[in-house]
Amino acid sequence: MSTESSTLKTLIIGSGPAGYTAAIYAARADLRPVLYTGIEPGGQLTTTTEVDNFPGYPEGVDGPAMMVDLQKQAERFGTEVMIGMATAVELSKEVGGTHKVTIDNNKILETKTIIIATGASAKYLGLPSEQRLRGGGVSACAVCDGFFYKEQEVAIVGGGDTAAEEATYLANICKKVTMLVRKDHMRASKAMQHRVNAKDNIDLRYNCEIDEVLGDQLVEGLRIVNNQTGIKEEISITGLFIAIGHKPNTEIFKDQLEMDNDGYLITVGKSTKTNYPGVFASGDVQDKEYRQAVTAAGTGCMAALDAERYLASIESL
């Protein structure tokens, strides 16, 4: 294990909209940020096709292309973008202290501030047919991709608030939405359930699970199974939305940073401050409610401003 000789001002972990926006602001503030991309450079947007809801792109933008642009913008101001994964952290509780971050289990970086933008990953069912058709009709984001299924028949799996909210969203766009809930009840709040029940074009199926996603290059249907009776049935759809929850990428911060019961980082008030001085969290890793590229970018900007102010305050100590 080697330790880099100089201490960084700002280390950014993660390369989605939050990480790159933090980098743009930090670089322009002369913090000479170093950004480590993580295992999925560009983050969740690289798994989507067209992004239609990011302001400033009247014709929409290709998700992976937008992330390349964000990277270039961050680099233009001097951000050093590095491929690598933060695998461990040793945070200092002292104001003005130095934090240590291990990269790829073989290099230790020392830094005065850390901006965490490691995001969250959508959970998938894990069926081989589902994995094969990701990007070919299987999506984990109705708000991102629902529009492409306008007037078509789609299905959504999950029974929580996200599934209920997304089913309602899809019902406004699509001809029919089949909602598959594995239990005999939904976990979603009553208010959300009422919204689902109020939609005539949502076909709610309890005790139903997906046996296989049908289709070669594109989704053509589902084979579903009633887990009470074992009866299988095929339905025709062109889009399948998985809404069974997200997992924040916070494993390496356990036992140090404060998290809620689902593992999302807790920030102080309206800031991006965590319970460690000089450690800031932005994007989906601290937001289970909005989870949009534009909101992630907003909190990335906030984290860079918080880091800049923190560095100014410790310099004057």
Provide, rounded to whole angstroms, the least separation between the CB of residue 22 and ligand NDP. 24
Does residue 223 belong to the site contacting ligand NDP (CB under 6 A)? no
Exposure string for 95-113, b = 16+ CB within 10 A, e = fewer: eeeebbbbbeeeeebbbbb
Does residue 244 belong to the site contacting ligand NDP (CB under 6 A)? yes
Within the chain, residue ranges assigned H as helices are: 17-28, 63-76, 128-132, 142-145, 161-171, 190-197, 293-315
Using CB under 6 A, pick the residue from 100, 182, 199, 223 that binds ligand NDP.
182
Does residue 161 belong to the site contacting ligand NDP (CB under 6 A)? yes
Taking the least distance from each CB to ligand NDP, the nearer of 158 and 283 is: 158
Helix (H, G, I), strand (E, B) or coil at 51: strand
Does residue 146 belong to the site contacting ligand NDP (CB under 6 A)? no
Rounded-to-integer distance, Cα 260 and Cα 254, Å: 11
Does residue 284 belong to the site contacting ligand NDP (CB under 6 A)? no
Taking the least distance from each CB to ligand NDP, the nearer of 98 and 295 is: 295
x/- map, 95-134, ligand NDP, by CB under 6 A: ------------------------------x---------
Taking the least distance from each CB to ligand NDP, the nearer of 107 and 187 is: 187
Does residue 163 belong to the site contacting ligand NDP (CB under 6 A)? yes
Question: Hunting for tokens 């009840």 — which residue is that?
Answer: 185
Catalytic residue numbers read 141, 144-145
Beta carbons within 10 angstroms of residue 12's beta carbon: 36
Taking the least distance from each CB to ligand NDP, the nearer of 82 and 125 is: 125
Rounded-to-integer distance, Cα 264 and Cα 266, Å: 6
Longest dimension (CA), the chain: 70
CB-closest chain residue to ligand NDP: 160
Beta carbons within 10 angstroms of residue 93's beta carbon: 9
Q: Rounded to 5 degrees, what are φ and ψ at 53?
A: -115, 15
Does residue 288 belong to the site contacting ligand NDP (CB under 6 A)? yes
Q: Cα separations (Å) of 107 from 4, 74, 100, 212, 240?
A: 7, 23, 10, 43, 41
Rounded-to-integer distance, Cα 10 and Cα 80, Å: 11
Does residue 263 belong to the site contacting ligand NDP (CB under 6 A)? no
Taking the least distance from each CB to ligand NDP, the nearer of 70 and 192 is: 192
* Residues of the shown chain interacting with ligand NDP in the complex, contacts defined by CB under 6 A: 125, 157-163, 165, 182-183, 187, 244-246, 288-289
